[in-house]
Structure formats: C-alpha cells, structure tokens
Amino acid sequence: MIKDISAVLIWSDNYQKLANWYQEKLGLKILEEINHPDDTGVGFMVGKMYLWIGQHSQVKGKNKDEHRHMINFVVDSVSQSCKELEKKGVMFLAKPFKAPTFDKYFATFYDLDQNLVQLIGGK
C-alpha cells in the first residue's frame, strides 16, 4: 500500500520567515515558491526528500509541543556541522552525542518556530 514518503511539511503562520531561516542557516536551496490562496509556501529538495514550509490557517505562533516530531538531516560530520551552525547563531539543545544503539552521532536544535531538528551522521 504505502510506497514512499512524498514530503515533509512544516506549517507556520510566518512561512516566509521560517523558509528564509532554513535557507540562511542550513543552506537549503529553494526549488519552488507557490503563492496561491489555498497553497502558499516554499519548497526545498533535500537529497531525495521534498521539504515544504508553508502557510496554514490553523497554525499560530511557535510550536508549543516541540517534542512531537523531529526532522533528521544527514551530514558527513555532526561535530563540524554543529560548529558551522553555531557560528550562524543556531542554538543547540543537545551537542553532538553518539547514538546508544548504533554507530552514528546526533546533535539537536530548534528552528525559528521551535520545531526540533536533528543532525545525524559521522562524528
């Protein structure tokens, strides 16, 4: 029945500001921008995954339940990526740490809307 994940969607009441943050801090490249009354936002390709940051009428303010979901971005070196992001003002909730059950490292931070974002990769 289910074949793949089509996209990850992040809704915001200020989608443009949040999309700009992802572009500026994480270096994501915009694939498309749509400005339609019923479908407004910015799309990015991250590897094979489509990431949509869009406007949603039911979303107001920052995420109040930030532990509900998390996006993992694959990087070569979590430690190096963490240092680069800290230079750009990204505040980390968890500095690089080794996964307890397999040979990967993680670091966790919040985006502009208080959504949890995580890096995964080598040390």
Does residue 38 sit in the same domain as residue 78?
no
DSSP 99: -
Q: Backbone dihedral region of 41: left (phi > 0), alpha (psi from -120 to 50 degrees) or beta? A: left
Domain boundary among 43, 59, 75: 59
So what's the pLDDT on residue 85?
98
Q: Whole-model pTM?
A: 0.92
Distance CA 94, CA 45 (A): 26
pLDDT of the chain, 123 residues: tens digit per residue: 999 989 999 999 999 999 999 999 999 999 999 999 888 999 999 999 999 999 998 999 988 888 889 999 999 999 999 999 999 999 999 999 999 999 999 999 999 999 999 999 999
Domain boundary among 42, 59, 76: 59
So what's the pLDDT on residue 67?
86
